[in-house]
Amino acid sequence: MTKKYLVTISMNDKSKTFETTDLAQSFIDFKPSVIKTVVRIAVEYGDKKVERVLYVMRAKRVFYNPFTAKVFARDIERALI
């Protein structure tokens, strides 16, 4: 069974929602050109929801560094268990 996550990323007064099976890869693929404000990431799986708030420096690490994206995705997946 493949896990499907519903991800909502809000930043710079805009919001984007998409479905994914690989959280880490979706963060790397999202890769915004400019991060000006706080980034809110909400992930839903089934009836559970996890929301994280990232400030600019941490958000840049998550979106531009594959290792950090993988660790962040793992933490979210563990919170959804």
**pLDDT higher than 90, residue 48:** yes
pTM: 0.89
Side chain identity at residue 66, one-letter code: P
Mean pLDDT for the stretch of residues 29-51: 91
**pLDDT higher than 90, residue 32:** no
Number of domains in the chain: 1
Give me the chain's average pLDDT, please: 91
**Is residue 5 within 8 Å of residue 23, measured between CB atoms?**
yes
**pLDDT higher than 90, residue 13:** no
- Its domain, for residue 58, covers 5-79
Q: How far is CA 32 from the centre of its chain?
A: 12
Residues 33, 76, 78: CA angle, nearest 5 degrees: 160
Tokens of 32: 């915004």
